[in-house]
Structure 1
Amino acid sequence: MPDPLGQGGTEMGRDTTLLSATLGQESLWRKVFAVLAGSLLIAVAAQFSVPIGPVPLSLQTLAILTIGLTYGSRLGAITLLAYLAEGAAGLPVFSNGGAGIGYMMGPTGGFLIGFVATAWIAGLAADRGWTSNIAKTLPLALIAAVVLYIPGLLWPAAMLGTDWSALWSGWMAPFLTGDVIKAVLATLAVAGGWAVLKRR
């Protein structure tokens, strides 16, 4: 019977993520618990934010990268889809307690879509068994952090008619350094998790 929350049905996917190494044999219920716990972590991280222009600076990206690097691409993306579903259902999981379809259709809606891609791309490092190796993981974590801006900027450009100079100065430039730091921290955290696990 196929596992809807699996890692693509390969031994590599099951054996190379920090989540799998920690939990051991992953049952469907353990994966459901991991998805719910991950979505809760992201929701909590979203509440720690500093308003800078239209896009708040929060710990959310750090949590999303960490989830991807820990869970793998498929389960990481599913966790983010669960997070978005919780917000769409009215739970106050978005930044500053935001919730609902109206919030998701607002100026930052593109970033919400990009969260799924960010988790999936970061998770590719876990799928390949790279996350104990900082040098291999960090470039992919940085790419995952930057990819977030593609839908994040295309959305206000298309929906609000915001020009690209305003998007660069108000929506991207102030956050790039922070996102690089978050990618480094997520990479170090997961590599550190592997180091602790291997010492046990």
Structure 2
Amino acid sequence: MKTKELILVALFAALTAIGAFLKINIGYIPFTLQFFFCALSGVLLGAKLGALSQIIYVTIGLFGLPVFSNGGGIGYVFKPSFGFIIGFIFSAYIIGILSNKNNKFFTLFIAQLLGLIVLYIFGSIYMYAIMNFYIGKAFSIINIIKVAVMPFIGVDIIKIFLVSLIGTKIRPIIQKTV
């Protein structure tokens, strides 16, 4: 990897961590800016580097640095929201693949929307498993969707819109330098 790529990957891992601290607690999952930086990493860095930035973010959190919205450490895997954190990796990768070298607003928007759907699916399934099989609290898929998806759709669409605007302006510059 080039030095610039290493710097950008580290930067987006750090930005995702910062996004975790910009939060509003509302229940099992807080409102944060993590998805904003995850999507931006996929759009600006592409599939491999965007996913790598999220892998680094998850790894440093699992090693104990308090970079997740409620801390860090290996025990975080037992939290109902951890599936969304793992989902950032897949979301960034999907966004990077689907927006591959295309700087059009609509393409970036749709790529992120599909990445968000992947994130919601991954996070919801994980939350369902943790709630029902580890915590022992009966939660249906409908309840998971009510708690972990519905409150966030509107805000996440706004994030996608903003990342699409930013991506159309900044992506051509980054593609020339990386």
Superposition TM-score, scaled by structure 1 size: 0.79
Cα 1:102/1:159, change in 2 over 3 Å: same
Equivalent residue for 2:159?
Answer: 182
Q: 1:73 to 1:88 in 2, by over 3 A?
A: same
Residue 74 (structure 1) aligned to one of 48, 54, 58: 48
Q: Is contact 2:65–2:72 with CA below 8 Å preserved after alignment?
A: yes
How many residues align structurally?
169
Question: Retained in 1: the 8 A contact 2:44–2:171?
Answer: no
Which of these residues, 104, 107, 119, is aligned with residue 133 of structure 1?
104
Task: Map 1:51-200 to 2 at 5 A.
Answer: 51-96=25-70, 98-126=71-99, 128-130=100-102, 132-161=103-132, 162-194=139-171
Superposition misfits of 4+ residues, deviation over 4 angstroms: 194-197
RMSD of aligned Cα (Å): 1.8
The runs of 5 or more residues in structure 1 that have no matched partner are: 6-26
What is the percentage of aligned positions where both structures have the same residue?
30
Q: Is the 8 A contact 1:72 1:125 kept in 2?
A: no
Q: Superposed, which structure 2 residues align to 1:11-90 within 5 Å?
A: 27=2, 29-90=3-64
TM-score normalized by the length of structure 2: 0.88
How many Å separate the matches in 2 of 1:30 and 1:163? 45
Deviation string, structure 1 residues 10-37 (Cα, Å, up to 9, x no partner): xxxxxxxxxxxxxxxxx2x332222211
CA distance in 1: counterparts of 2:125 and 2:59, whole angstroms = 22
Cα pair 1:65 1:186 within 8 Å, conserved:
yes
Q: What amino acid is aligned across from residue 134 of structure 1 in structure 2? A: F
> Is the Cα contact below 8 Å between 2:108 and 2:167 reproduced in 1?
no
Structure 2 spans left out of the alignment, 5+ residues: 133-138
1:46-88 Cα offsets, whole Å, 9 max, x none, are 1001112211011111111001100000111111111111001
Per-residue deviation, 1:186: 0.7
Task: Write the distance in 2 (CA, Å) between the matches of 1:81 and 1:166.
Answer: 29
Match of 1:8 in 2: none
